[in-house]
């Protein structure tokens, strides 16, 4: 008989440490391959933040890496929402099949879902707006450099004549 897995604990692990995959390890053990994939985008996002702090805002690699961290946090919040909103009967059927069913989830799960919804929405909107802002900035820079180059070339031709 295996240990009973708590819906409340799984929800809060996903809220607090979802970007590191601890909720997956709690539910599926250390052999879960999806759990081991969670820390990689989190690490890439942290590297992006460190590059911005060290090299400034013009570092393109940092702007490429930073959204991975945000998406990893948003994925953890999505997992918390899925766990918290899953009916207790389905939770016990899925995660406590060989164990004693856990007690009905109460208010701590509801608060976990509320926190996950707020944090997940804020992070996801930030990642999307950040990505679109950088995309359009790069497009403007490319357009500006393409428009400036012929004028500079024409001015050089006039000076040499």
pLDDT value of position 126: 92
- Overall domain count for the chain: 1
* String of DSSP letters for 5-23: PPHHHHHHHHHHHGGGTHH
Mean pLDDT of all residues belonging to the chain: 87
CB atoms within 10 A of CB 39: 15
What are the DSSP calls for 52-97, one per residue?
Answer: HHHH-TT-HHHHHHHHHHHHHHHHHHHHHHHHHHS-HHHHHHHH-S
Residue 153 within a domain: yes
Query: Is residue 159 pLDDT above 70, yes or no?
Result: no
Residue numbers of the domain that contains 148: 7-160
pTM over 0.95: no
Q: Is residue 2 part of a domain?
A: no
């Amino acid at each position: 008989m295996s240990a009973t897995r708590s819906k409340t604990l799984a929800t809060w692990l996903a809220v607090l440490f979802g970007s590191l995959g601890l909720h997956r390890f709690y539910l599926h053990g250390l052999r879960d391959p999806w759990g081991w994939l969670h820390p990689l985008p989190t690490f890439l996002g942290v590297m992006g933040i460190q590059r911005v702090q060290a090299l400034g805002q013009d570092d393109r690699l940092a702007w490429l890496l930073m959204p991975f961290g945000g998406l990893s946090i948003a994925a953890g919040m999505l997992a918390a929402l899925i766990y918290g909103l899953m009916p207790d009967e389905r939770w016990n059927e899925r995660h406590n099949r060989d164990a004693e069913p856990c007690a009905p989830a109460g208010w701590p799960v509801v608060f976990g879902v509320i926190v996950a919804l707020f944090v997940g929405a804020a992070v996801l909107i930030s990642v999307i707006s950040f990505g679109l802002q950088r995309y359009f900035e790069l497009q403007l820079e490319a357009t500006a450099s393409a428009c400036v180059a012929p004028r500079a070339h024409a001015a050089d031709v006039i000076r040499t004549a």
